[in-house]
């Protein structure tokens, strides 16, 4: 305390000096200074614990950085195969054939020129064999990020149109593929929104409910300005009802018949009428 008599005028009364010394001996400042004097130059156990903890944190952070680098390589490989429309695995890889599937073969090829990745493949008990579960988890994660970006773009767009097409997967289940078109940063872009199973119902009410439920977050009533459908068998009987029902909630959604028909479907429909 800079205003204390100890630091300013001092004492001329010994009784007052004694009482002041007693108070000072139990004051917070005096006790704190005495403690610092006793510990001066001695090792601090707290600092030692903190140093050990800091070292553990640094090791953990380094491991996280290394794992992220490995994960980045795996993600890049998956994106590459998907971009090239190549399959990820081979049905015969369980028989240890020469072809272990595109993903494994690509990983083994890149590991020849990447020491860290090579060590990872040799030592990892989790990713070393590229289990189907982990592969699918990575694909799902990539899809989630892409979907998040696309949805953000659509929400920023002033308007959009959709194209709905019918296709059949390898299990012969009918499904709809949906594509959105819109402008983003001055460019016209086209985004694939996914496949949707319609095996439980082909009526226009079912298709309408599916589309509006999946994409209601994109403000269909005010932002959908165009709609087009493939006119294949799954939609041919319901096509007119479908576009009319969409116009009930989005009057500005102009219906345009899709030009991208399969020739065999056109001939089939023409011959049946």
Domains of the chain: 45-139 (no CATH), 157-271 (3.30.420)
The token pair at 1 is 């305390």
Check pLDDT > 60 for residue 234.
no
Query: Look-up: residue for tokens 């020849």?
Result: 112
Assign 24 a pLDDT band (cuts: 50, 70, 90). confident
**Tens digit of each residue's pLDDT (9 = 90 or more) over 189-228:** 999 998 888 877 777 788 888 888 899 899 999 999 999 8
Alpha-carbon distance values, 202 to 226, 227, 247 (Å): 21, 18, 19
**Tens digit of each residue's pLDDT (9 = 90 or more) over 127-177:** 555 667 788 888 999 999 999 999 999 999 999 999 988 776 666 677 888
**Tens digit of each residue's pLDDT (9 = 90 or more) over 4-14:** 666 666 666 77
Query: Look-up: residue for tokens 């020469």?
Result: 98
Q: What's the CA gap between 78 and 106, in Å, rounded? A: 10
The token pair at 186 is 């001055």
pLDDT for 252: 92
- The secondary structure of 178-238, three-state, reads EEEEEEECCEEEEEEEEEEECCCCCCHHHHHHHHHHHHHHHCHHHHEEEEEECCCHHHHCC
pLDDT for 50: 72
- pTM, whole model, 2 decimals? 0.63
**Tens digit of each residue's pLDDT (9 = 90 or more) over 81-132:** 988 988 887 655 555 566 777 888 888 898 889 888 888 888 776 655 566 7
- Local structure of 161: helix, strand or coil: strand
């Amino acid at each position: 305390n800079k205003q204390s008599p100890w630091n300013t005028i001092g004492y001329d009364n010994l009784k007052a000096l004694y009482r002041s010394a007693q108070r000072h001996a139990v004051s917070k400042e005096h006790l704190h200074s005495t403690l610092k004097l006793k510990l001066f130059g001695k090792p601090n156990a707290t600092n030692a614990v903190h140093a050990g903890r800091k070292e553990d944190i640094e090791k953990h952070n380094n491991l996280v950085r290394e794992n992220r680098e490995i994960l980045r390589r795996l993600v890049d490989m998956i994106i590459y195969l998907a971009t090239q429309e190549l399959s990820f695995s081979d049905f015969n890889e369980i028989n240890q054939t020469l072809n272990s599937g595109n993903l494994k073969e690509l990983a083994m090829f890149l590991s020849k020129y990447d020491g860290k990745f090579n060590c990872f493949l040799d030592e990892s008990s989790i990713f070393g064999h590229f289990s189907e579960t982990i592969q699918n988890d990575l694909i799902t994660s990539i899809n989630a990020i892409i979907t998040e970006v696309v949805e953000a773009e659509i929400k920023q767009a002033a308007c959009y149109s959709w194209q709905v097409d019918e296709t059949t997967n390898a299990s012969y289940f009918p499904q709809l593929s949906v594509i959105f078109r819109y402008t983003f940063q001055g460019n016209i872009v086209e985004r694939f929104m996914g496949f949707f199973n319609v095996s439980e119902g082909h009526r226009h009410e079912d298709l309408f409910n599916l589309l509006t439920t999946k994409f209601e977050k994109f403000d269909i009533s005010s932002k959908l300005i165009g709609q087009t459908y493939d006119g294949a068998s799954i939609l041919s009987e319901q096509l007119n009802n479908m576009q009319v029902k969409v116009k009930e909630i989005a009057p500005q959604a102009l219906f345009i018949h899709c030009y991208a028909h399969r020739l065999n479907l056109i001939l089939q429909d023409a011959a049946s009428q």
